[in-house]
Amino acid sequence: MTHDEARDRLPDLLDDRDDRLLLAHVNTCHACQQQLFRLNRVDRILRANAMQTTRRRLSRRWYGVAVTAVAAAFILVVPGRGHQPRGQILRSATGATMGQATLSKTDAQNLAVSLELHGVKMTSGDVYVLWTRSTASPRPVPVGRFMVDASGSCKAHFTLPSRSQWTRFWVTPPSHPSLVLATT
């Protein structure tokens, strides 16, 4: 896959991370990694704005009714404890707690990944990568990129396909994926 082909197909990774050739290119191309990070940020901003606009349009009464109906339907459709958020603590090499990665089911095909880190000894504005691995494959999968603020904290949200069992998470700099800064 050429760089130009990969760059044109980067938006496909926002919804589906099954394209092995595209993922292989992105794992080795810093320019595509940066572009994918930007696309993820824009996607999150657009989704958040769409959600706020939708909420404003609904009256408070109808919004409450809609939320109740969706919650009831979700409880009926999702059996057992499968919809309960599952958190995994991220620790440094010394064992210090640095944050948590929480998985929760969003729909039949996706899991939401919420990453919260605090007190991280990273430079504000630097980009880092959250990785995971599934029980189906020994290959690491990049979940997404994020930045920390001046206090070393961040809150980031990503999406993973729910068809895999994601077993662990870890954080690295994008240029040194073997340098693990925090892991579950």
At 81 the pLDDT is 42
Query: 149 versus 16: which is more confidently predicted?
Result: 149
Query: 137 versus 125: which is more confidently predicted?
Result: 137
pLDDT, average across residues 55-64:
56
Please give the full DSSP string across 52-80, using - where no structure is assigned: HHHHHHS-HHHHHHHHHHHHHHHHHHS-T
Q: What is the mean pLDDT of the chain?
A: 77
Residue 59's pLDDT band (cuts 50, 70, 90): low
pLDDT in tens, 67-121: 555 555 544 444 444 444 568 899 988 888 999 999 988 888 888 999 998 877 7
Residue whose token pair is 């919260």: 116
Q: Is the dihedral of CA 71, 160, 6, 179 positive or negative?
A: positive
Q: What is the pTM of this model?
A: 0.54
At 80 the pLDDT is 42
Instruction: Say how far apart CA 107 and CA 29 lie, in whole Å.
Output: 31
Residue 143's pLDDT band (cuts 50, 70, 90): very high
Q: What are phi and psi of 32, to 5 degrees?
A: -70, -35
Tokens coding 80? 């057992």
